[in-house]
């Protein structure tokens, strides 16, 4: 099947409606009928301002990036992006064409 890898990049301490934005994204995707999503926490990186962020052992209030990723159909991607626009969420995303499917093995 052909579709899209839809990735969002957010700071882990950013919230929307009083919950972490990455959690909100996952919850909303589930409500839209998207069959799966994952959040991945970065250990280091920099953004458009060129400031390097690194995880350190003693940091309590972390400001690292979380990548939230979905492998979706074009319609699901459009629905997710429309929701973000409706909610007035400023967010960076990447949309990459993908071929996906499942291989069933013997059980």
User: Could you tell me what percent of the chain has a pLDDT over 90?
Assistant: 71
Which pLDDT does position 64 carry in this prediction? 83
95: left (phi over 0), alpha (psi -120 to 50) or beta: beta
Hunting for tokens 């882990």 — which residue is that?
12
Average pLDDT, the chain: 90
Residue 43 CA to chain centroid, in angstroms? 16
Which pLDDT does position 62 carry in this prediction? 63
User: Could you tell me what percent of the chain has a pLDDT over 70?
Assistant: 92
What is the average per-residue pLDDT within 13-31? 97
Q: Which CATH number fits domain 2-99: 3.20.20.70, 3.90.1170.30, 3.40.190.10, 3.30.70.120?
A: 3.30.70.120
Hunting for tokens 């919850």 — which residue is that?
27
Which pLDDT does position 9 carry in this prediction? 95
């Amino acid at each position: 099947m052909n579709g899209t890898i839809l990735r969002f990049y957010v700071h882990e301490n950013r919230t929307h409606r009083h919950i972490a934005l990455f959690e909100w994204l996952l919850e909303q995707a589930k409500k839209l009928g998207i069959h799966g999503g994952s959040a991945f926490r970065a250990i280091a990186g920099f953004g458009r301002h060129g400031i390097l962020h690194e995880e350190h052992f003693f940091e309590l209030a972390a400001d690292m990036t979380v990548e939230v990723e979905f492998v979706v159909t074009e319609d699901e991607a459009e629905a997710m992006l429309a929701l973000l626009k409706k909610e007035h969420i400023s967010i960076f995303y990447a949309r990459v064409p993908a071929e996906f499917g499942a291989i069933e093995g013997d059980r």
